[in-house]
Structure 1
Amino acid sequence: MRCLAFLFCVHTAHALATPSVRIRDTWNLLVLGDLHMEDDMTSHYQARQDCKNACQKLSLMSPSSMSVKETIDSLQNTRAGDLSSDQLELLWKYKQQGDWLNTFMVSLGDLGRKDIRHEPGDAGTVLSFQMAKEFLDGFQMPYNLVTGNHDLEGLDEFASDEENLKAWMDCFHLETPYFKRYIGEKTVLMGISTVRFRDAPYSSHEVHIDDDQVQWFVQTVQEHPASEGWKILVASHAPIMGSGLRVLQNVHVTNGCAWLNHCSDNRNVFIRTIKDNPQIKLWFSGHFHLSHDYPDSISKVGSCTFVQVGVMGPASTREGSRQTRLIQGNEQRLRIYSINHHLSTPEDVNVRVDVEIDLLTDEMKWNQPVEEADRDNWFQAYVPREEDGCYLETPDGSIADAASVNSKVCWWHMADGKSSIKNRWAVAPSWL
C-alpha cells in the first residue's frame, strides 16, 4: 500500500460518510527541505522510504478506516446507482491518478552537494540537477520545486545567472521558475524561486524574488480571494521577513540572506500581502537546516502559519536531526506532521503530528510539547538575552576585545527604545 493510503487517514476515512468533508478537497503534501545530494545517498534513500512508510502508517491510525484496496474494491463492486457523487468521483480520480490520489510533493531547493569541489555534482551544476531529478522522480508522485540560493552556484559551468537558471528549468521541463498547482478544489499551492547569484549587489546567497515573480505572486493571491473560500499554500527556499521563524544570527542575518529579498527594497511586500489576505494559510521554507524540534520552527502571523522544513542528509543537518514535513488538509482543517528520519528504522518510521489548524477559526493547536533543543549555540534574531554578552550605552568605541569577539553578541539602545545588534562578522562563514 502506497501513499494513497494516507488519503484515508483520519479525515478521509470519514469522507464518504461525512458530506461536509469532500474527497475532491482533501489532499496530502510532502514538503522536502534542502536536499543537498551527497556522494553516499544511503540516508536520502532511507528518508525517501520513510516518507512512503509514513503515509502507510498514518492510514492505519484510525481503527475505523478501511485499507485503500478494501475501499476501492468495495466501491467497484457496488452498483453504480447506489454510489454517491463523491464515491463516483473517487473512483474516477483513482482511475486517473492511481496510487497517488490527491498526494503531491514540493522540494524547497538547494539540490546539489554542499561540498564545492569545482566538479560536476556541485551545487548549481547540470549533474546536480539530473541527480536530484532522478531522486525526486523516485517518489513516483506529482511534484513541483523552487530554486534555492545554491542552485545558481554553478560558477564553473555557467557564465551568468540566466544560463544557470535556464539549465535548472530545462532539466525539470519548466517554463518559469515559479509555479501554481491546484491540489484541492479550493486549495492552490504556489512556489517562488531565487533568480540571481552572480548579479547580487550585496549577498550572493540572498534568496531574491524578482519583480516579475512578485507581481505574479500578488496577482495570483488576488485571483483566489478568501471571500470565495480559497486556501493558498506558498513554498519558497527562505522564509519571509516578519514570519517569526527561528533564524541563525551569525550565518544568515549578518550576511544579508536570512529572508526573501533581505537586501532588497521590496522585502516587506510578502508580509503585507499576508496580512491583507487571510486566504494564505501556510508558508513553507527551508534554508536554515534547522530541526523541527524548536518551538519557533512553526509560527503564526494572522491567518498564515509559517513552517520551517529540515533536511534529509547527514551532511546538511546542524544538530543531528533529519526531518521532512507531511501535511494533511481538507476544507476544514490542516494537520502538520514531522517525519523524523534520524529516529526511524526500516521496521518503523517515526512520525508525529506537530500542530492542527482549524481553518474555520484559524486556531492552531500544538498536539504535543516540542522539546527544547540546546540553546547554547542558537538564539532568535532581535531578541536580546542576558547571556548574549553586553549592552552598549553608546555605539562608540570597541564593542569587544579580540579574545571574545566570536563569543559575545553586543546590543545598544536606539532612540525609539528598541534594541539593535552590532554586526561583528566581516567575512561570511564557509558553511553558509
Structure 2
Amino acid sequence: MKKLLNNPVFNNIFWLFLDKGYGALLTLYIYAKLATYFGTTTFGVWNYIISFASLLPAVASLGLNYIIIKRLKSNPLLSDKILSISFYLRLFTGTITAIILFITYTILNINFNSDLILVIILLFSSQIVMNSNIYIQKNEANLQNRKTVIARSISLTLFFILKLLAIQWALDIVYFALLTLLEYLLFFIIIKIKEDHKLKLPSTYIRKKITPSLLKEGLPLMLAAITTTLYLKIDQLFIASFTNNNDVGIYAASARISEFLYAIPVIVSNVFFPKIMKAFTKENIDKMLYQMFAIVLILAIICVLIISTFSDIIIEVMYGKEYIQASEILKIHAWSIILMSLLVTSSKYILKINRQDIIFKRELMGLTSNIILNFLLIPRYGIKGAAWATLISYSVSSFFSNFFFKETRPLIKKQFLSIYYILK
C-alpha cells in the first residue's frame, strides 16, 4: 500500500479525484439550490447562457491544453517561454472570441433581453479568465496536481459560502454571474502566487519560433474542442429553439449530473498522459492503455448502474419534485458516461502518435450525427429525443469512428478487453 501511495501516477489520481469529488459535491449542491431558487424557467435561461459561454474556451484554448503538456515534457528549458506565449495567446483570443460570441448571441435573439446583458458579459468574462489559467497544464505536466487542487478548493469553498448567502439574501441573477467571475479570478491568483514564473513575453525571435508551431499543432485539437463543446451543449440550444426555457431547465438538471461524472475519464487520462508520452516501446504503451481503459470503464459502469437504479431519488433529493421529469432523461443520459470514457482516453493515444486530425474527425462525426438527430428527434419526442441524440452521437464518435482509421482500429480490441486484461 505504501508503494502504491508513493507512485506518482496513483498519487496524482488520488489528488485529482479528491479535487473533483469535493468540487462535485459543492458544485452539485449549489447547482441544485440554484435550480430550486431560480425555478425551471429562469434556470433554463441561466443554463442557456452558460451553454453559449462554454463555446469560448473551446475556441480560445487554441487546442493547446495537451500541446502545452507535451512541450513542457519535451522542452523543459523553454518551459517559461512556452507558458508565457500560451497565456497571452489565450488571453487575446479569449477576448476576441467573447466579443464575437456576444454579437452572435444578440443576433440570434434567443433568451436575450436588456436585463441579461450584464449577466452575459460576466459569464463570458469568467470563461476568459479560466481559459487563460495555463498553470493547470504546468502542474499536470510536472505531476504536481496537488497545487491545482489546493488553489481550486480554496476558491470553490469561499464562493460556495458566498453563493449560499446570495440565495439566502434573495439576490438577483446578476450577482451569481459576478460571483462566478470572481471565483475564477481568485483561483488564478492563488495558483499564480505559488509560481516563480513571471508572465513576461519572450523576445520577438523566440515568439516567432514557438508561436507558429504551437498554433499549427493545436489547430486540429481546437477544432475538435469546438465540435466536442457543440455536441455537449447544442442539445440545450436546440431545446431552447424548439420548445421552451422550462424544458431547458429540466434537461440541464439531468445532464449536469452525468456531465460532472465525465470528469472521471478526464482525471485518469490526464494522469496517464505524461507517462504515455514518455513510453517508447509498444509493450509499455499497450500496458498503459489497457490500464487506463480498464480503470475508467470500471468506474464509469459503477456510476451508470448507481444512477440508473436511483435516478428518481437523486433528482428529487437534489432538485425537488418540480424537476422529477428529469429522472427519465438522466436514465438515458447516464449511459453516455461510458462512451465519453472511451472517447477521452483513446484521444490520449492519438495525441501520442501525433494524429490530432483524427481527434477532430471523430468529434466531427459525432457532432454531425448529433445535429441531425436533434433536428429529427426533439420536435417529435421533446427532451427525451435530445437525450437519445446525445447518447447515439457519443457512440459514433467514441467507438464506431475507430473503424474508419487504420491507426485507431487496434484501440477497439483494447477497449473491449481492457477489464479482462487487468483481471487476468
Structure 2 length as normaliser, TM-score? 0.32
Structure 1 length as normaliser, TM-score? 0.32
Question: Which structure has the larger Rg?
Answer: 1
Q: Relative contact order (alpha carbons < 8 A, sep ≥ 6): 1 or 2 greater?
A: 2
Higher helix share: 2
Higher strand share: 1
